[in-house]
């Protein structure tokens, strides 16, 4: 699980264009933003996403509740970074109420170990780099649609020997 902020201001990246026909990417003078929570299922490659205006313990708890509702009656192990909004009374309440939800904390400053970071990179490349979408709500809709309709395969479990340690889990 991880979070990402989305700004109306397009992020620039290289793009192919015919010589003399450089694409025009409009600039937004404001800093309007929205945020997303995303949880990648390492087995299926599907993402559970939720938009939030701010990243707080309460918003994080709401995402955890949505995740638990979407995956009833199965244990969930979350790989989690040490963001400040991952602490607080709202988080403790969700964890105490749902013992099937377990956390594994990632090391400090190690985004390369979080598989959800690769999802953000792919989604930004597809949706928010060099975009010409005029409003933040429209951009957020495209961003969330891409997250929830795209499969993001990962070899995270294989690289860490998961299927060798738990051969019965390979289903």
pLDDT in tens, 61-86: 999 999 999 999 999 999 999 999 99
Identify the pLDDT of residue 54: 94
Is pLDDT at 28 greater than 80 in this prediction? no
Residue 99 dihedral angles phi and psi, to the nearest 5°: -65, -15
Identify the pLDDT of residue 155: 82
Q: Does 145 fall in a domain?
A: yes
The single residue listed with the structure tokens 């400090």 is 108
Q: Does 168 fall in a domain?
A: no
Is pLDDT at 169 greater than 80 in this prediction? no
CATH number at residue 130: 3.30.420.10
Q: Does 170 fall in a domain?
A: no
Domain that holds residue 50: 2-6+32-161
Identify the pLDDT of residue 162: 59
Q: Does 126 fall in a domain?
A: yes
The number of folded domains in the chain is: 1
Q: Does 142 fall in a domain?
A: yes
Identify the pLDDT of residue 171: 39
Is pLDDT at 164 greater than 70 in this prediction? no
Identify the pLDDT of residue 69: 97
Identify the pLDDT of residue 118: 94
Could you give the CA distance from residue 143 to residue 103 in angstroms, rounded to a whole number?
A: 27
Q: Does 101 fall in a domain?
A: yes
Residue 20 per-residue DSSP state: T
| End-to-end Cα separation, the chain, in angstroms | 22
Q: Does 155 fall in a domain?
A: yes
Identify the pLDDT of residue 167: 45
Q: Does 17 fall in a domain?
A: no
């Amino acid at each position: 699980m991880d979070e990402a902020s989305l700004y109306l201001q397009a992020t620039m990246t290289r793009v192919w264009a015919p010589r003399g026909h450089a694409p025009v990417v409009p600039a937004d003078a404001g800093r309007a933003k929205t945020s997303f929570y995303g949880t990648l299922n390492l087995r299926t490659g599907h993402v559970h996403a939720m938009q939030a205006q701010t990243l707080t313990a309460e918003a994080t708890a709401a995402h955890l509740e949505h995740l638990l509702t979407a995956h009833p009656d199965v244990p969930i192990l979350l790989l989690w970074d040490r963001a400040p909004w991952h602490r607080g009374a709202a988080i403790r309440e969700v964890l105490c109420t749902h013992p099937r939800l377990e956390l594994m904390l990632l090391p400090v400053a190690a985004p390369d170990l979080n598989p959800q970071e690769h999802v953000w990179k792919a989604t930004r490349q597809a949706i928010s780099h060099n975009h010409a979408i005029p409003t933040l709500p429209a951009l957020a809709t495209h961003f969330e649609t891409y997250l929830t309709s795209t499969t993001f395969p990962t070899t995270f479990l294989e690289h860490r020997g998961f299927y060798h340690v738990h051969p019965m889990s390979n289903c």
